[in-house]
């Protein structure tokens, strides 16, 4: 216990030193929102990775792997290929250049200025502010559940308050510079701990081959409920035309793996470096980091079934008593050596704080810069920074409220929900805005609103996990989902497990292209400004 406390105290000293250093260097709005556009490739890559991967990936998605197995590794492939390589090489360079040409400080501001539309900026800013706290709450829940297991004398509610206060202190004062400095430090801790975790797990199970063979041989232990849902084993993928298969491949793999491209807290990082060279150098660092984070979490989550069965005669989901968000915390607490549990707790603390700090910053600046500043007269840069700090404080409070009311088993679902919503709302107008001069203001507006509308409709009335929990569909139709009335096994019945993004993203893309082709092209002088330095 003393080791855990000491580790966290040493870690906090480092965090607050970096936060103080960033605060001393933050004097302008550009410093607060874009870290002065002077970050180096290591800080960029580690901050990008640490923001992308948090307790939601390690605890939440690691727990999902404990339940559903190795099929989650498809998400690791997408997060590296799409989330790092495609994101930085294809999107990052043009985002940085266009953001500089248009003097944009936030992701909504980039979209708004690209389409010369206050509506686009304000709508996207409000959307981010309203829904980002749900994603942030999932991360907060993840770390507080781990702290609850490690320090049972402190209640879960108390941990929510303590962690929130710690993160808010350096984000509110130091802005994005503080976020990125601390991210790089926290990401380094996370990488070392995950490397130790995978090595130790394989040693416990007699090596890589023996470990995976043992997991394969446990197919007979798959619970009947999971078999009925389409699961075939922990080392084989589930039936694609089954509830579990559709959930894994459409919501978790596709929804998160593609949705990463339109994440505002990640896109803004492309604008924090002085040149394209930093983005090129960050690709390799970011790829290795993501592999260590998601790849290790998913493999260890699945292999925990073998370890728990060997030690306690129960598989992971049985040990966690049905709550798969508890699988990784229990694995660390019950299986790993005592010295490691304290260090890993620090790493998860770092993972949560690095992601939450970015979420608070992006959500708060979206409220302040992209909505309030459009309606409130701001005098000098100092006044603008005060408004941004106020926005961050409001975002912190909203996240705390969500963390208090959201149910268990929510971490992976909340993450996938936000990633999918961003993809449906932003991805088509973001991609086409960077590469197609024919994309119009009206096309952007209709695509964004249409993608958001279809995504929310599917979430409220079709996708069973959310529609049943929210209850609006049942109140209107008497069914938990519009698809629930279909013949079991039919395509309509299966729709209740198809992620909203599978439908909403193509609709949003079709609206963007179709409406833009049918409406007048934007003025050439404005397009020349947007494309300054791109060609």
> Is there a contact between 356 and 140 (Cβ–Cβ < 8 Å)?
yes
pLDDT at 355: 81
> Rounded distance, CA 16 to CA 353, Å?
12
Res. 174: pLDDT tops 80: no
Query: Could you tell me the sign of the dihedral formed by the alpha carbons of 243, 246, 252, 256, in that order?
Result: negative
pLDDT tens digits, residue range 516-531?
Answer: 999 999 999 999 999 9
Q: What is d(CA 429, CA 23) in angstroms, rounded to the nearest whole number?
A: 35
Q: What is the dihedral of CA 401, 405, 411, 412, to 10 degrees?
A: -110
Most confident of 115-119, 341-345, 349-353, 371-375: 115-119
* Per-residue DSSP letter, 490: S
User: What gap in Å lies between CA 141 and CA 150, rounded to an integer?
Assistant: 14
- Least trusted range by pLDDT, from 33-37, 343-347, 390-394: 33-37
**Which sequence spans correspond to the domains of the chain?**
2-423
- Helix axes 118-150 and 327-334, enclosed angle (nearest 10): 30
Contact 481, 461 (CB under 8 A): yes
Q: Rounded to an integer, what distance in angstroms lies between the CA atom of residue 185 and that of residue 336? A: 24
CA distance 332 to 485: 43
Q: Which of 145, 194, 199, 191 is nearest to 329 (CA)?
A: 145
Contact call for residues 520 and 80 (beta carbons, < 8 A): no
Q: Give 225-260 pLDDT, tens digit per residue.
A: 889 899 999 998 899 889 999 989 988 888 888 888
Coil, strand or helix at 3? helix
Question: For residues 390 and 216, which has the higher predicted lDDT (pLDDT)?
Answer: 216
Q: Say yes or no to pLDDT of 515 above 90.
A: yes
Q: Provide mean pLDDT across the span 271-296.
A: 89
Contact residues for 499 (Cβ-Cβ < 8 A; gap 6+): 246, 247, 250, 251, 254, 255, 416, 420, 463
**Ranges 26-40, 150-164, 221-235, most confident:** 221-235
pLDDT interval class at 328 (50, 70, 90): confident
Segment 253-273 shows an average pLDDT of: 86
pLDDT in tens, 459-498: 889 988 888 878 888 899 888 898 887 788 788 888 988 8
The rounded radius of gyration (Å) of the Cα atoms in the chain is 23
DSSP assignment string, 109-154: HHHHHHTT-HHHHHHHHHHHHHHHHHHHHHHHHHHHHHHHHH-TTS
Instruction: Please state at what angle helix 156-204 crosses helix 296-312, rounded to 10 degrees.
Output: 80
CATH architecture of 2-423: Up-down Bundle (1.20)
Q: Is the pLDDT confidence value at 208 over 90? A: yes
Question: How far apart, in whole angstroms, are the C-alpha atoms of residue 472 and residue 481?
Answer: 9
Residue-averaged pLDDT of the chain: 86
Q: How confident is the model at residue 198 (pLDDT cuts 50, 70, 90)?
A: very high
Whether pLDDT at 167 is above 80 = yes
How many residues does this entry show for the chain? 535
pLDDT in tens, 59-115: 788 888 999 999 999 999 998 998 889 988 889 889 999 998 998 888 999 999 999
Nearest 10 degrees: Cα torsion 445, 434, 257, 247: 20
């Amino acid at each position: 216990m003393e080791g855990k406390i000491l580790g966290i105290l040493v870690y906090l000293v480092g965090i607050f030193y970096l936060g103080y250093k960033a605060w001393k260097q933050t004097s302008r709005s550009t410093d607060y929102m874009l870290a002065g556009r002077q970050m180096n490739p290591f800080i960029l890559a580690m901050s990008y990775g640490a923001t992308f991967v948090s307790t939601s990936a390690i605890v939440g998605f690691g727990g999902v792997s404990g339940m559903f197995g190795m099929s989650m590794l498809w998400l690791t492939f997408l997060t590296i290929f799409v989330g790092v390589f495609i994101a930085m090489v294809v999107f990052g360079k043009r985002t940085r250049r266009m953001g500089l040409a248009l003097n944009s400080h936030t992701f909504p501001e980039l979209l708004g200025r690209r389409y010369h539309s206050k509506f686009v900026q304000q709508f996207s800013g409000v959307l981010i502010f309203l829904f980002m706290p749900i994603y942030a709450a999932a991360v907060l829940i993840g770390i507080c559940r781990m702290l609850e297991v490690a320090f049972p004398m402190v209640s879960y509610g108390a941990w929510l308050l303590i962690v929130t206060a710690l993160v808010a202190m350096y984000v509110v004062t130091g802005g994005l510079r503080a976020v990125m400095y601390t991210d790089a430090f926290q990401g380094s801790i996370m990488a070392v701990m995950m490397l130790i975790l995978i090595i130790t797990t394989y040693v416990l199970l007699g090596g890589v081959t023996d470990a995976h063979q043992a997991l394969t041989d446990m197919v007979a232990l798959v619970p009947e409920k999971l078999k009925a849902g389409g699961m075939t084993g922990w080392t084989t993928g589930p039936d694609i035309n089954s509830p579990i298969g559709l959930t894994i491949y459409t919501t978790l793999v596709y929804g998160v793996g593609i949705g990463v491209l339109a994440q505002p807290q990640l896109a803004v990082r492309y604008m924090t470096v002085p040149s394209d060279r930093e983005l090129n150098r960050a690709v390799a660092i970011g790829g290795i980091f993501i592999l260590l984070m998601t790849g290790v979490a998913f493999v260890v989550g699945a292999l925990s079934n073998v370890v728990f069965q060997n030690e306690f005669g129960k598989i992971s989901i049985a040990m966690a008593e049905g709550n798969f968000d508890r699988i990784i915390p229990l694995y660390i607490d019950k299986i790993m050596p005592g010295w490691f549990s304290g260090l890993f707790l620090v790493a998860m603390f770092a993972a949560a704080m690095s992601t939450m700090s970015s979420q608070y910053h992006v959500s708060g600046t979206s409220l302040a810069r992209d909505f309030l500043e459009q309606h409130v007269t701001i005098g000098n840069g100092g006044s603008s920074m005060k408004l941004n700090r106020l926005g961050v404080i409001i975002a912190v409070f909203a996240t705390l409220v969500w963390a208090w009311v959201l149910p268990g088993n929510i971490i992976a679902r909340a993450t996938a929900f936000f990633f999918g919503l961003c993809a449906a709302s932003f991805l088509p107008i973001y991609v086409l805005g960077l590469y197609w001069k024919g994309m119009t203001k009206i096309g952007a507006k209709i695509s964004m609103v249409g993608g958001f509308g279809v995504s929310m409709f599917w979430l409220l009335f079709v996708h069973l996990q959310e529609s049943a929990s929210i209850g609006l569909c049942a109140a209107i139709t008497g069914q938990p989902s519009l698809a629930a009335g279909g013949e079991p096994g039919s395509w309509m019945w299966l729709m209740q497990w198809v992620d909203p993004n599978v439908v909403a993203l193509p609709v949003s893309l079709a609206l963007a292209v179709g409406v833009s082709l049918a409406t007048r092209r934007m003025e050439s002088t404005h397009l020349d400004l947007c494309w300054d330095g791109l060609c």
